Amino acid sequence: MNPSDTETRTPEELPAVVTRLFKGVLYAENDEKIWQSLLGLTPHVRDYVSVLGLDLILDESEGYAFLRSREDPDGTLPRLIARRTLTFNVSLLLALLRGRMLEFDTNSSEVRLIMTEQEIADMVSVFLPETSNEAKVLDRLGTDIKKVVELGFLRRLKGQADTYEVARILKAYVDAQWLEEFDARLADYRASLAGEEK
């Protein structure tokens, strides 16, 4: 084996790290071995996924990493990372959870934001139209919370019914631009609600 072969050889752990990232968000606390490999191979991972039109989003301080499709204005690249269309109610829940996390980070020295289903319901109820069928609203909220859990932005706490940790990765997905766009949609929503009440 000549010296140039060792320089261009793929690091042994690279396939496992990249494959894990293709499966979804990698959390340091859930898979420490792969996380440590990722930290050691970050430049290799970035180079590898960039060939596929992807960016590695890595936040060491918060302990998560994921792959994101690059902007492709021409639409020439096929999407490897699925884009999910969210309902208005799920978008509202994400925006409110992000706002709550911002408030929590500003006012608390704790690291984990823990919320009960009732606290989430109280937070969302301010934005929902008044209705006499509260059970239907609660069922809908339960469905929305389940969707946010599936998306990985809420995690159920083991042994504590209806209690969730708000995943810190929410900060990476719900950024200032996303919130600005959602605020415009929320203003339209409020205007349409006001129109219905007249």
Q: Is residue 149 exposed (0-12), middle (13-18) or buried (19+ Cβ within 10 Å)? A: middle
What pLDDT band is residue 34 in, cutting at 50, 70 and 90?
very high
Please report the pLDDT score of residue 1 as a whole number.
44
Please report the pLDDT score of residue 4 as a whole number.
44
Stated pTM of the model: 0.69
Q: Is residue 126 exposed (0-12), middle (13-18) or buried (19+ Cβ within 10 Å)? A: exposed
Please report the pLDDT score of residue 3 as a whole number.
47
Please report the pLDDT score of residue 85 as a whole number.
75
Mean pLDDT estimate for the chain: 81
* Residue 42: pLDDT over 90: yes
| pLDDT tens by residue, 104-134 | 988 888 888 999 998 998 888 777 666 666 6
With a pLDDT cut of 90, the percent of the chain lying above it is 24
| pLDDT tens by residue, 183-196 | 777 776 666 656 65
Q: Give 142-151 contacts, CB < 8 A, sequence gap 24+.
A: 142/117, 144/87, 144/89, 144/90, 144/93, 145/93, 145/117, 145/120, 147/87, 147/90, 148/90, 148/93, 148/94, 148/97, 151/84, 151/90
Please report the pLDDT score of residue 6 as a whole number.
42
| pLDDT tens by residue, 44-86 | 999 999 988 899 999 998 889 998 888 766 766 666 666 667 7
